[in-house]
Each structure stands twice: as C-alpha cells, then as structure tokens.
Amino acid sequence: MKTDLKAVIIGSGVAGLASAIRLSVQGVTVTVFEKNNYPGGKLSHFEKDGFHFDAGPSLFTQPQNIEELFLLAGENMADYFQYEQVPLACKYFYEDGTIINAFTDAKKLGTELAAKLGEDAGSVEEYLLQSKKLYKNVGSIFLNYSLHKIKPLFKAPLAKAIRTVKWKHLFSSMNDVNKSFFTKPQTVQLFNRYATYNGSNPYKAPGMLCLIPHLEHNEGTFYPKGGMISITNALYKLALKKGVKFQFNKPVQRIIYNEGKIKGIIANGENIDATIAVSNMDVYGTYKYLLNDGLTAKKLLKQERSSSALVFYWGIGKEFAQLELHNIFFSENYKAEFDHLFRSKTLYSDPTVYINITSKYGRALNAPAGKENWFVMVNAPANTGQDWDTIKKQCRKNIIGKLNRLLKTDIEPLIETEETLDPIMIEDKTSSFMGSLYGTSSNSKMAAFMRHPNFSSKIKGLYFAGGSVHPGGGIPLCLLSAKIMSEIVAEDFSE
C-alpha cells in the first residue's frame, strides 16, 4: 500500500466504523464525518423511564465478522466485546394456538416441528443441510467478493458454486422452494420469514435466499453482553484505539473530485482534503446530494426498495414467562401481508409482530425489576408519502388486539412508557432513502447482481460500504461490505 493516504469516511454506521478500522490498520490516516452526535447509525440505543432499548437491529449472527476486526487490529476482543450463544433462535406463535420453539440446532428443530406440527423431521434436517451447502458454496462467494472485479472473483471457488446451484434457486421463489420441501403451511411460513432478513418478499425473492436459515439454525444466534449497542461501542472504541479521528455533528454536503480523482469533501461548509472517500451514506443520497448526480440516483431507483419498519418501544409493567428474547406472532395470511407491503404499500390489518425483549438476558441493564423492555416491530413499506400517523395508530391497535388474543392478557394497561419509529424517522436519523432498512430488496432474480458495487468505476478513490451496497443487508453483510471495500482499496493503491 502507498503511504500518506488520507481517507474520509462519510457516516459512522456499523460499516463506516468497520471501514475506518480496516483502512487505519492498512496504514491510511482516517477521519470519520458523522452528521449525528453519536456513532452507530441504525445501531443505536436510548433510555426512557428506566427502560433501555436497542433502537434498531436486535438479531446478532456471525460474530466472526466482528472477531476478524479485532484480530486484524491486534487487539484482544474480550477487552472490548463479549457475547454468548442463544439456544432458541425464536419462539413462534400462530393464530391457531400452535407455538414453536425454533432451536438453533437443526436436529432439535426437526424434532420440535415433527412433534408440534407433524412435519417430517428428516425433511427439516435435509432442508437445513441444503441451506448450509448453498450458503457455503454459493452465498460465501456473493458475500466475500466484489461481483464487479473480475480478477479477485476468479480466485473464488466458482466450480463448487456452479455444481451446487439448482434451477429452483434461481428461477423459483423462496415460497415455492419451501412448499416443495414441507407439507405443513406453518413450516413454510416459518422458513418464508427469512426473506425479511433483507427486507424482501418470499413470494417474489429467489429460492437462493433459502441459504439464510443456515445462519440461525446451523451457525446459531448470539446475544452481545450489554445489548446490541455494545457492538457500536466496541467498534467505536477500537477505531479510536487505531488512531481514527471522529467529527460528530458534521454532515458531509459534497464529495469533491477533479479529473476523475477524489480531492476531498465539504463537511459543515469546510473543505477537507482526501485521497480516498468512503461513503457509508445510502448510495442513492450519495449520488443525488453529495455528487449532484441526479441521473445516476434516478437509475438506482429502478430497483425496488427494501421494506422498512414500524417500531413501538414499550416499557411493560410485568414479566411474561412465556416469552423469549426473540418472539414472532405470525399473520394468519402471510401472502396478503406481503401483497400489502410491496403492492399496496401499506400495512395489513393482521401484521406479523416481532417482539424482542433484551431484559430476558440482561435484566439489570435493560428494565426495572419485574418489568420488561419490549421492542415491538412490524414490517412496513418504504415511505412513499403514506399518512404514517394514521397508519401507526391503526397498527398499534391491530398489534394490541393480536397480542391480547395470543397472550390472553390485556396488554394496553401494561404499557408504562412508549416511543415509536417509522420510515420517515428512519430516513431523518440515518439518511436511508425512503426509510428502507436494507437499501434495495431482493425481489427479483438479478437483485444480488444489481446492488451498487463497493467502488466507483468513474471516480478513482471513491468507495462505498453499508447496507445499501454490495453485498447489502443487515449487520454481518455491512461488515463484509467494509471488508470487500478495503481489499479493493489495497489493490487500487498498491505500490
């Protein structure tokens, strides 16, 4: 790598932090410019009336992506960050009264689905084995390599991938693949739900997404000690240790380039010189506002946006022994729910409700004694100008009705404190266009190839990392986007 390289990172989301760590370890002088007064972007946290809430992500998979950062930096991760394995990936509640404990162990999950639904345990194990193969032989290429750089891609084990991938993974929907495996509609619904991992529709997304259940049911799910916010805190601390400088309350207004080369940025009205600029801002906003390139921004919108979310943060004045860390109350008509989300761009009257309760794992840190901190989320369409105040009121009513029914308890009087999050607020806080959680959806066969690359082919020194670019999606993929980006930087600036 060349010496004297100066990088600016635009945004301190999880991918911005990981990019800062990786580039500084590579010997680059790094400064992060963040418009908010805190790091982490969507991965943030707040406290209200004695209840603590992780504001955004709640499910933690693939801790190895975080471990790798500490290894690279030569630091002992345990001094910054600790986590434990969670035995139950999720507890599922169905309107017909069925309750499924979704173990993170494939065999145990098969036994549970056989006992509760009469599903064939062998089919469940076989499905998860195929999910593992798909993940390891095909998914890992998508996730670890740029799809837009030929040289490194040729180093990838492509022959194995070609042998593994089947027609149905490319040309059938996730729902069709799941229906071909399972006899019970509840099992199909359970595995269809993994399309929402990256804000997609299981009735449209390709069968390839059947690799996602491998993460929860073969690799396992985890809980960071101190909650999800400890991921942000650990990465921020590590970045500082590696000499990264942070400028908070400094929105970047412009990326400056000349003769196809990065020259710097304008942040809060001030010119800052740089040889490298990494945008962790949503790629749409990067083109539209920072590069003043409305045409490219418009082209990006040809791909459908991923779903967004409505979140109710409730301080609950009671403990529910029947609930776990992750709980899902399924809609009785999943197809209708996704039609509402992606076609009518509204919410279905019987939404699937996700409740995350971190006080199950860290009582003293998260809720007063005898109480629980509920993070209640439903999938929502991206913002296209809907009347969110009215939608929120109706949705709150629908959620409470559903929970009253399935938990046989009157929930409303137990809500001691409340905050909400909607697509407009998500965009305000993190500049994620239309409040989409994951940039674009995977609702088409070619979606994985259509995500924006981690570099600019027109401007030397301009790179991208985060949920809206390749490989896209939640925290593990954001961390991988930073990895792919830093490898391209190393190649581009090698001596």
Ligand X SMILES: Cc1cc2nc3c(=O)[nH]c(=O)nc-3n(C[C@H](O)[C@H](O)[C@H](O)COP(=O)(O)OP(=O)(O)OC[C@H]3O[C@@H](n4cnc5c(N)ncnc54)[C@H](O)[C@@H]3O)c2cc1C
Query: CA-CA-CA-CA torsion for 426, 323, 200, 448, nearest 10 degrees?
Result: 90
Which DSSP string do the residues of 197-248 spell out, in sequence order? GGT--TTTSBGGGGGTHHIIIII-EEEETT-THHHHHHHHHHHHHTT-EEET
The per-type count for the chain, helices as H runs and strands as E runs, is 20, 19
With H, G, I as helix, E, B as strand and everything else as coil, classify residue 276.
Answer: strand
Part in contact with ligand X (CB under 6 A); list of ranges 5-13, 202-210, 379-387, 395-403: 5-13
Query: CA-CA-CA-CA torsion for 472, 473, 477, 480, nearest 10 degrees?
Result: 20
Among 212, 281, 283, 489, binds ligand X (CB under 6 A): 281
Among 224, 381, 467, 471, binds ligand X (CB under 6 A): 467
Among 5, 56, 132, 196, binds ligand X (CB under 6 A): 56
33 binds ligand X (CB under 6 A): yes
Q: Which residues contact 399 (CB under 8 A, 6 or more apart)?
A: 312, 351, 353, 376, 378
Query: Closest CB to ligand X among 340 and 470?
Result: 470
Measuring CA to CA, which residue among 315, 316, 313, 317 is closest to residue 419? 313
Measuring CA to CA, which residue among 30, 492, 31 is closest to residue 261? 492
454 binds ligand X (CB under 6 A): no
How far apart are CB 282 and ligand X at their closest, in Å? 7
14 binds ligand X (CB under 6 A): yes
57 binds ligand X (CB under 6 A): yes
How far apart are CB 180 and ligand X at their closest, in Å? 28
Among 395, 478, 480, 488, binds ligand X (CB under 6 A): 478
Backbone angles phi, psi at 140, to 5 degrees: -65, -25
**b (16+ CB within 10 A) / e for 157-168:** eeeebeebbeeb
Part in contact with ligand X (CB under 6 A); list of ranges 35-43, 132-140, 173-181, 200-208: 35-43
C-alpha to C-alpha distance for 312 and 65, rounded to whole angstroms: 29
311 binds ligand X (CB under 6 A): yes
Measuring CA to CA, which residue among 437, 464, 420, 425 is closest to residue 382? 437
CB atoms within 10 A of CB 202: 26
Part in contact with ligand X (CB under 6 A); list of ranges 32-40, 130-138, 380-388, 390-398: 32-40
C-alpha to C-alpha distance for 377 and 396, rounded to whole angstroms: 10
471 binds ligand X (CB under 6 A): no
403 binds ligand X (CB under 6 A): no
Query: Closest CB to ligand X among 251 and 362?
Result: 251
Query: Closest CB to ligand X among 43 and 174?
Result: 43
End-to-end CA distance of the chain: 6
Among 21, 59, 212, 447, binds ligand X (CB under 6 A): 59
C-alpha to C-alpha distance for 156 and 150, rounded to whole angstroms: 10
Query: Closest CB to ligand X among 175 and 280?
Result: 280
432 binds ligand X (CB under 6 A): yes
264 binds ligand X (CB under 6 A): no
How far apart are CB 311 and ligand X at their closest, in Å? 5
Q: Which residues contact 240 (CB under 8 A, 6 or more apart)?
A: 246
11 binds ligand X (CB under 6 A): yes
Measuring CA to CA, which residue among 235, 192, 209 is closest to residue 70? 235
Among 16, 139, 453, 471, binds ligand X (CB under 6 A): 16
Q: Which residue(s) pair with 47 in the sheet?
A: 52
Part in contact with ligand X (CB under 6 A); list of ranges 148-156, 181-189, 424-432, 448-456: 424-432
Among 29, 31, 58, 486, binds ligand X (CB under 6 A): 58
227 binds ligand X (CB under 6 A): no
How far apart are CB 422 and ligand X at their closest, in Å? 10
54 binds ligand X (CB under 6 A): no
Among 474, 486, 488, 493, binds ligand X (CB under 6 A): 474
Part in contact with ligand X (CB under 6 A); list of ranges 105-113, 202-210, 430-438, 451-459: 430-438
Among 177, 252, 341, 489, binds ligand X (CB under 6 A): 252
480 binds ligand X (CB under 6 A): no
C-alpha to C-alpha distance for 223 and 90, rounded to whole angstroms: 13
Query: Closest CB to ligand X among 113 and 469?
Result: 469
Binding site for ligand X (CB under 6 A): 10-16, 33-36, 41-43, 56-59, 251-252, 280-281, 309, 311, 377, 426, 430-432, 437-438, 466-467, 474-475, 478
